[in-house]
Amino acid sequence: MELFDEGLHSGVNLALSVDKVLYREQTDLQDLMIFENKNFGRVMSLDGSVQTTEKDEFIYHEMFVHVPMLAHGRARRALIIGGGDGGAARQLMKYSDIAVTMVDIDRTVVELSKKYMPSVSGGAFDDPRFNLVIADGCKFVKETGEQWDVIIIDSTDPHGPGEVLYTEEFYSDCKSCLTPGGVIITQNGVPFVQEAELRTSYDRLGRLFRDVSFYLAAIPSYVGGVMAYGWATDDVDLRKTGLAELAARYMDAGITTDYYTPEVHQAAFALPLHIQKALTKEG
């Protein structure tokens, strides 16, 4: 039996049995593979790192989208940078009054996700409220004159084409694309094995925004423990949105979820001490 062996973090590997290879090719930009695994269903990897799986993507994408959307409460325009599998777009489409722009650098990821993993995007790519731009997200935010209420940076890890999506320059350009009171969310890796990346994002975002923190969720196919979503906004009240208000907004939005609840939302921001210490460590 073939094994998919992810070595994203030195010394820590994730091995998944490859029950059937559905697609494997080097796009112009990334090594893209889609294969079947008995536990996770269909799995997409880019440059040897798991991006999304049919079985656990709901956790990752629900927490990526509903935490900022329900904390903000009045978002009408959302921008996704990356997100080529369409999972974040699918969650955003649950909001009746939303317009979504998604900027991904690799059209092949979008097309193959739609073909081989249609449950992840769930028709979002064909929704009239969805607009796809194929471009480098770093260039796009520098040049666009538009603004959004929520910006979701659903990027690969800071290697290859995704590296530019972790720079202070990129975060600053994203800030210029935020409406007043808007919020930016980043994919910030697994703190236990990517502590340096967490700290770097914290410092860079901290130089640009008044309220910067992280919230956590455990994604079974992301090895090393809970993963962190970066949170950055100038509206210091957003993160304090109370449980009753979150519950009312969740109800009013009429969305269905399998992981997200208002209680999980609030609890996700409770950072364990070792992560708090990592953020305040000198040097």
Chain residues in the site for ligand SAM (CB under 6 A): 46, 51-52, 60, 81-85, 103-106, 109, 136-138, 154-157, 161-162, 164-165, 187
Question: Least separation, in Å, of the C-beta of 82 and ligand SAM?
Answer: 3
Question: Least separation, in Å, of the C-beta of 146 and ligand SAM?
Answer: 16
Question: Least separation, in Å, of the C-beta of 244 and ligand SAM?
Answer: 32
| DSSP run (H or E) holding 140 | helix 137-143
Question: Least separation, in Å, of the C-beta of 46 and ligand SAM?
Answer: 6
Which residue matches tokens 């094994």? Answer: 3
The nearer residue to ligand SAM, 218 or 253, going by C-beta atoms, is: 218
- 154 assigned to active site: yes
| DSSP run (H or E) holding 82 | strand 77-82
d(CA 175, CA 48): 31
HSE toward the beta carbon, residue 269, CA cutoff 13 A: 19
The nearer residue to ligand SAM, 83 or 191, going by C-beta atoms, is: 83
Asked whether 102 and 174 are in contact (CB, 8 A), the reply is no
Question: Least separation, in Å, of the C-beta of 126 and ligand SAM?
Answer: 18
Catalytic residue among 149, 154, 157, 173: 154
Residues in the chain: 283
Residue facing ligand SAM at closest CB distance: 84
Which residue matches tokens 């975002």? Answer: 205
Residue among 222, 261, 233 nearest 63 (CA): 261
d(CA 275, CA 16): 28
Sign of CA dihedral 70, 151, 135, 216: negative
167: its two tokens:
């720079």
Exposure pattern of 39-77 as b/e (b: 16+ CB <10 Å)? ebebbbbbbebbbbbbbbbbbbbbbbbbbbbbbbbebeb
The nearer residue to ligand SAM, 137 or 182, going by C-beta atoms, is: 137
55: its two tokens:
């079985």
The nearer residue to ligand SAM, 109 or 246, going by C-beta atoms, is: 109
The nearer residue to ligand SAM, 162 or 191, going by C-beta atoms, is: 162
> Which residues carry out catalysis?
154
